Amino acid sequence: MKIRIESIKENPANMLRRVGYIFQRNEGDQMSFIRPLARAGYPRFHMYTRLEGTTLSIDFHLDQKRETYGSATRHHGEYEDEGALQTEANRIKQTLHV
């Protein structure tokens, strides 16, 4: 799911902290944030953000559980623009008045 927030006037980390996200790490020109939904850390919303001038681009998904390893890496995430992701996008937009 993708969201674009135009003309931001504050630090992106502070904005996302207001909606319950925790800064995780920098990855190149992106910042990674999470919002766990359970004490164990999963499921959780996981987002990557990029600041382009005064526009904040957010790309996020729902991690259902920790990735598993074997012969291949598996990521148990939801990426569809509906259900829980749509609800979370609406919550973020409403909280940030977008």
Confidence at residue 75, expressed as pLDDT on a 0 to 100 scale:
56
* 62: CB partners within 8 A, 6+ apart: 43, 44, 45, 46, 77, 78, 84, 85, 88
For 10-58, the pLDDT digits (tens) are: 999 999 999 999 999 999 999 999 999 999 889 999 999 999 999 999 9
Domain housing 24: 2-95
When divided into structural domains, the chain yields a total of: 1
Contact 56, 63 (CB under 8 A): no
Confidence at residue 6, expressed as pLDDT on a 0 to 100 scale:
94
Confidence at residue 13, expressed as pLDDT on a 0 to 100 scale:
95
H/E segment holding residue 44 = strand 44-52
